[in-house]
Structure 1
Amino acid sequence: MSDPGAGTTTFPPPVNPNDPGIGPLMIGFMWTFTSLAMIAIALRLYVRVFIVEKLGLDDWFMIVAGIFQLAYQACMTKAYQWGLGMDSMNLTYDPQITNILKWNLIGSIPGIVVAICARISIATLLIRLFGGRKWFKWYLIVFTTLQSATAAATEMLYCLQTDPIEGFWNPMIPARRLDPMIAKVLWMTGQTLFTVADLSYVILPVSFIWKLKMPLHRKIPLMALICMSIFTAVASIMRTILVQEAVGQAEAMQGVARMFLWANLETTFTIIMGCLPILPKLFQQERFNFVIIKSYVQTVFNRTIRSFHQGTRRSQQAQDAKHNGYHGLESVKTDKHHMAALAPDSPPHKPALGPNTTCSSREPNFSDAAGDITRTDQFMVSYEGAPTRSDGPGIGR
């Protein structure tokens, strides 16, 4: 970008200011994958805090990455409100293009922090898992340090390439500007290191897992889980290509939007892939809890059904007993001859209540009056050596 003289550059009016371009699609993708990244971090912390009950250094780096990812996404949303995603011919230079470039510069700071912290978290986790291989451990330490230092230096130069810094987003003011090719080379170098890291974090662990003595059906899901992060390397490559259109070119606003879209996909997939190896413990725990809950629900259900059937059976027995007792009385004729046939002549019933206890019962007795049939459910229990006691007046049964 050349140094324009103050107030000498003019820009044509926007052709179609109502055309949002790829802005809505871009911001929709960015928020979708940012939300997925936050869910992955939340599940990771749940596993670490409530199942493993211990937070590691890799977890803290991932928490920092999640916080800065939200800050980065907020800056991109602000840039979208000013027209990020629209074609340059449909934007006004002031205030739209200047504010888009301003918020892109601000958003690049948390964006680079996310890229660094997420990869440090992954490297720390891989050291914990495969630290027994000394060469791999030192490879992770050296390469992660190199890529983090390069990315930090690139971001610092990117933000300080103009003096004053307002000249970055407003070429209308006089400022000292570095050659934009310097920032391009550093950006491409940093992105290349990120791409190599993403690929090495995939290929090397997969080769280690393949050599483990475990069934094939357990190896395949592990390898598939790690190989999913290849998409992160693809996003990093796409971001490297689009950097050429994004750095120092206010005229190529579509390239700026695509570059930040791929940057968002790269950081969010890095977070998600860094959290996924932790989540199988969550699925195992939840499966165990599901089995316990299922067993408990089945037990309660079976007991409820059994109690219901028992209650229904008892109710039916009570109704049958009531019906049989009154049926005998209703079928009795009020004829004196027939009533005489109901005279009690059966021997007393003596259940086994003990050597000194007898229990006697008698059939209902009726008076001589034809219309005075009386039913009683009272009974009498007598004890040897004890006076006989009736529970109430009338005829005992």
Structure 2
Amino acid sequence: MSEILKRATFEATNSHQLSIVVVPIITGALATACVALRFRARYIQRLRCLFDDWLALVALILTWIFQGVNLAAVFAGGAGLPIETVIAIDPTAVTTYLKIILANFSLWVVTVSVVQLSILFFYIRIFSINKVFAWLSYVMVVLVTTFAIAGLFSEIFSCVPVSKSWDPTVNGTCVDGKSYCSAIGIIHVVFDLAIVTIPLPFIWRLKIAKGKKVVLSVLLCLGLVATIISLLKIVCLFDLTGIPQADVTDYLWLTILFQTVELPIGIICCCVPSLKPVMGEITAPFNSLASRLLSYSRRTDGQAGSNVYTSWSQSGDAGTDSKSQFVRLDSSFAHVGREGVQHDASAQAEEYELSRPSDNEPKDSNAINVSQTYAITRL
């Protein structure tokens, strides 16, 4: 096994193994972040975590266990390496690989079903007011649960005795691999499509803004990414590698990779609709930085505008025309009204012509009087 590990480590840089090792870690980390933010959102709302939240956490734990099984397939079973290479290094590694693959597919059936159940119970919690939709969701819950149980046992007992799954020399029988693979894959894809599309008609009947309907629809349709991956990984229907099926250690490398991406993406999709309350905390530092930059820019403009006002004031004292040029008053600095320009008020101002009444003229209630120092920005 140590030789397999050593050889896999060296050859991973130029083989399928690198993707099987690196990609799951990245996608798993993203899924972990989404689940953590989901629970943070519930805390911010002062709401207790519900069944769909805990299912998302269970799905995340199962996903990391699943990723660990795949890593074992790479480093202990030689997954991603040609079978000739594996046998040359360690003949027993092929048996180890086949045992791990049995655990891989069994765990996948359970994990992907838990992800789907988390999404369905989220639907029930949000849209339970619609009885038709609630019943459809409960029907899907029953179907998905049945699929998980049946898929798990059918995978484990696809060969009788079970040991024949990893030791072809044992006397026994196995189900037709291609038919079984096609059935499991197609049923799963149909469930994915149903979970994505069932809520759409009900969302578009809601009495909310059209923009919100579009956002909700887009969020739900993110699940189509996982559906497409589910479809492509059905190796018995789409042979994307061109590797002979007899090369068991290398034949399934793309299927394993798709599985390691599919599960985290499913978790991310089931968490995204719950993350709105926590987005404020994520964007707050960026909003604060933007506000500081804007405030600094305004102060800089205000200092430049003070010089303009000083020049205008001096020209008025010299007896020249009291009319100033047009200026734009920023809404955060001044308010123009009948009582004058107030620094501590705010309003939206467009173009104004400011005039300064002379000392010997009676004060007109409509004149603009400067009660405090304010900033005038040159156009």
TM-score exceeds 0.5: yes
Deviation at 1:73, TM superposition (A): 0.6
Structure 2: distance between partners of 1:105 and 1:89: 21
Is 2:62–2:111's contact at 8 Å kept on the other side of the alignment? yes
Gaps of 5+ in 1: 1-15, 300-397
Structure 2: distance between partners of 1:281 and 1:217: 18
> How is 1:162-181 mapped onto 2 (pairs within 5 angstroms)?
162-172=159-169, 174-181=170-177
Query: Is 2:80 the counterpart of 1:85?
Result: yes
SS of equivalent residue, structure 1 residue 91 = helix
Sort the Cα spacing of 1:145 and 1:118 in 2 relative to 1 into closer, same or farther, 3 A. Answer: same
- Residue equivalent to 2:275: 279
Gaps of 5+ in 2: 1-6, 296-379
Is 2:79–2:249's contact at 8 Å kept on the other side of the alignment? yes
> How is 1:179-328 mapped onto 2 (pairs within 5 angstroms)?
179-181=175-177, 184-242=178-236, 251-284=247-280, 286-287=282-283
| Count of paired positions | 279
- Residue equivalent to 1:61: 55
Deviation at 1:244, TM superposition (A): 8.2
Is 1:242–1:255's contact at 8 Å kept on the other side of the alignment? no
- Residue equivalent to 1:107: 104
Structure 2: distance between partners of 1:156 and 1:128: 30
Q: Out of 142, 149, 155, which is 2:139 matched to?
A: 142
Is 1:151–1:190's contact at 8 Å kept on the other side of the alignment? no
- Residue equivalent to 1:128: 125
Deviation at 1:254, TM superposition (A): 2.9
* Higher-Rg member (1/2): 1
Is 2:20–2:70's contact at 8 Å kept on the other side of the alignment? no
Is 2:44–2:278's contact at 8 Å kept on the other side of the alignment? no
Q: Out of 50, 67, 70, which is 2:64 matched to?
A: 70
Sort the Cα spacing of 1:87 and 1:59 in 2 relative to 1 into closer, same or farther, 3 A. Answer: same
Is 2:181–2:236's contact at 8 Å kept on the other side of the alignment? no
Structure 2: distance between partners of 1:59 and 1:259: 28
Sort the Cα spacing of 1:136 and 1:266 in 2 relative to 1 into closer, same or farther, 3 A. Answer: same
Structure 2: distance between partners of 1:150 and 1:250: 29
Is 1:243–1:259's contact at 8 Å kept on the other side of the alignment? no
Sort the Cα spacing of 1:203 and 1:162 in 2 relative to 1 into closer, same or farther, 3 A. Answer: closer
Sort the Cα spacing of 1:138 and 1:212 in 2 relative to 1 into closer, same or farther, 3 A. Answer: closer
Sort the Cα spacing of 1:186 and 1:141 in 2 relative to 1 into closer, same or farther, 3 A. Answer: farther
Deviation at 1:74, TM superposition (A): 0.5
Name the aligned partner's letter for residue 109 of structure 1: S
SS of equivalent residue, structure 1 residue 86 = coil
- Residue equivalent to 2:41: 47
Q: Please tell me the root mean square deviation across aligned C-alpha atoms, in Å.
A: 3.2
* 1:42-81 per-position Cα deviation (integer Å, ceiling 9, x unaligned): 1111112343431011011111111111111111001111
Name the aligned partner's letter for residue 53 of structure 1: L
Deviation at 1:149, TM superposition (A): 1.3
Q: Structure 1 length as normaliser, TM-score?
A: 0.62
Structure 1: distance between partners of 2:265 and 2:189: 13
Deviation at 1:170, TM superposition (A): 2.4
Is 1:19–1:90's contact at 8 Å kept on the other side of the alignment? no
Deviation at 1:268, TM superposition (A): 1.5
* 1:118-138 per-position Cα deviation (integer Å, ceiling 9, x unaligned): 100100011112222322222
Is 1:242–1:258's contact at 8 Å kept on the other side of the alignment? no
Structure 1: distance between partners of 2:45 and 2:129: 25
Structure 2: distance between partners of 1:152 and 1:144: 12
